[in-house]
Amino acid sequence: MDSRITVTEVRVRGFHLDGYGHVNHARYLEFLEEGRWAYVDAHPEFADGLARGVALVAVNLNIDYRRAAVMNDDLKVETCLIRVGGRSGVVGHRITHIGSGELVAAATLTFVLLDQRSGQVVPMEGEWAERLGPLVVDAPEGK
């Protein structure tokens, strides 16, 4: 697999479920967040900048739910950077069922980088463009 894409595995537990016995829609946000943290951990290009007082802040999230996930399902969360613009970037996610390979959900998250001291958006040019540009991949299938 492309090293610019990270994979995180999640097992569906009882506390992830809603009254209908499938993963509550809000829990997918946590699965996606796990994927993004794994992505940052795997890419020092991102992690080093964040360690210097820059925060990745979500400004828009779109999720397409495709299949219900239920108790004890093992899920794979694939995370990648699919766009870097002047002021924002987009992270792509795919959540698939490990046993069947079926797509459970696909998501895109638009983010900005925020200087935690000044509260200002950090432009994604210069150093940040050099750091993040090489990490961009084509949008994952299904999204």
DSSP for 64-98, written as a single string: EE-S--BTT-EEEEEEEEEEE-SS-EEEEEEEEET
CB atoms within 10 A of CB 14: 8
**Residues whose CB falls within 8 Å of the CB of residue 100, separated by 6 or more in sequence, listed in order:** none
Considering only CA atoms, which of 111, 114, 30, 124 is closest in space to residue 85? Answer: 124
Dihedral angle, C-alpha 68, 74, 76, 77, nearest 10 °? 60
User: Catalytic residue numbers?
Assistant: 18
| Residue 123, both tokens | 């432009």
